[in-house]
Amino acid sequence: MKPEKPKLALLAGALGVSVATVSNALSGKGRVSPELAERIRAKADMLGYVPSVAGRALRTGRSGVIGLVLPDIGNPLFPQIAQAIEQAASMRGYGVLIGDSRGEVDGQTQAIARLIDRGVDGMVVIPRRGTRVSDIGCPVAVIDSPSTPGNTVSADHWDGGRQMGAHLASLGHRRVLLVGTSPLSNVQADRIGGLKEGLGDGSITETVWIEKLEANLGPGCPLGLVARVAQGFTAIATLSDLTALRALTELQVAGIAVPAAASVTGFDDLVWASVVTPGITTMRLNATEVAQLAVTALTQAIEAIPRGELSPLGTVMAARECVPMQLVIRQSSGPAVQPSDQGQPS
């Protein structure tokens, strides 16, 4: 015989609070202090409490499902965020349906339409770079750059860049090559702006955009880093860990030691960033906190709509939240090489 799943009353009794308090904490509404809400969610997780989606649907007339639109599920950052979104939604009694834009603007439009057709109560959207999301017929929480109009929550990409730039400057790097994917990305634009600020006025930077390079030379082409190191660039500051790994591989294949001859840094702290050789210095994105803030804003907007009525707005008009990023220093960054020693094979 399977053990009975814990009910709200059991949670309330275990914590010494009312059933209403437990319900409000798990749904993200009502006046419950952040500390108590976190304690309630932790206890619910420990006891294996799973809210009844069917029961909520009968009471509220809602599906109890939210949509999640990702820009490219093949990028290892986005499954990490999707897992955090699913966990945050589950603790508030919602299921999650995922749509993948596959890196295309049309794909994003189609993914949103499919989720609307499936009756989701609202959506979390991570926009395809350079696009805006608004007025789609249901509440929306947008995870993008703080500079994106209509954004709900994001990591502080500018300050993350500033921290990384200051780290490289402290190591004596004055000529730094910045490597990103696309200038259309608001997130990458913020990261570059922060990097330049952190490096300071005395630095010299150039930017390589991979999409432009590959449009001329083909997918997977060399980034030209060996020549840049020979020209005096002592650090390669990339805008993602995937690009950092590509840069690291290109330099190592050419016999250029990292960080002895050139430092390489990334962004996002993907799960493998600590296990490659050398481990990648990067900026850690707190996916759990970003997800919790996005889902809380979305579910509060959903539950503020009277039963049976349509959403009056397509975008969550909540105060923008900005989650700090954390500098993680590993072996891929080191003191700037002296000009006379630069570019020597390892």
For the cut 50, the answer to whether the pLDDT of residue 179 exceeds it is yes
- What pLDDT, on a 0 to 100 scale, did the predictor assign at position 284? 97
Q: What is the pLDDT of residue 194?
A: 97
Q: Average pLDDT in the 167-189 region?
A: 95
pLDDT at residue 345 greater than cutoff 50: no
- Tokens encoding 149: 């109009």
The pTM for the full model equals 0.77
Q: What is the mean pLDDT of residues 319-338?
A: 91
Q: Which are the contacts of 125, defined by CB distance < 8 A and separation ≥ 6? A: 68, 69, 108, 112, 133, 140, 141, 142, 143
Are 176 and 233 spatial neighbours (Cβ–Cβ below 8 Å)? yes
- How crowded is residue 6: how many other Cβ atoms within 10 Å of its Cβ? 17
What's the pLDDT tens digit per position in 27-83?
Answer: 666 678 888 888 888 888 787 776 655 555 545 556 789 999 998 888 889 999 999
Q: Is the pLDDT of residue 4 over 60?
A: no
Band of pLDDT at residue 346, cut at 50, 70 and 90: very low
The model's pLDDT over 115-145, given as tens digits with 9 standing for 90+, comes to 888 889 999 998 876 566 766 778 889 998 8
Predicted pLDDT at 136:
73
The pLDDT value given to residue 310: 52
Q: Is pLDDT larger for residue 292 or for residue 307? A: 292
199: which residues sit within 8 A by CB, 6+ positions away? 165, 166, 168, 169, 173, 174, 176, 205
Residue 3 has pLDDT above 60, yes or no: no
Q: What local confidence, expressed as pLDDT, does residue 128 receive?
A: 78
pLDDT category of residue 314 using cuts at 50, 70 and 90: low
Average pLDDT of the segment spanning 253-273: 97
Annotation: CATH topology of 157-284+327-341? Rossmann fold (3.40.50)
How far apart are the C-alpha atoms of 267 and 192, rounded to whole Å?
Answer: 11
**How far is residue 167's CA from residue 175's CA, in Å, rounded to a whole number?**
14
Give the 3-state secondary structure of residue 141: strand
**Mean pLDDT across the chain, nearest whole number?**
86
Question: What's the CATH fold of domain 1-50?
Answer: 434 Repressor (Amino-terminal Domain) (1.10.260)
Query: Among the ranges 19-23, 302-306, 330-334, which has the highest mean pLDDT value?
Result: 330-334
Give the residue extent of every domain in the chain. Answer: 1-50, 157-284+327-341
Q: Look at residue 129 and give its three-state secondary structure.
A: coil
Summarize the confidence of residues 240-257 as an average pLDDT: 97
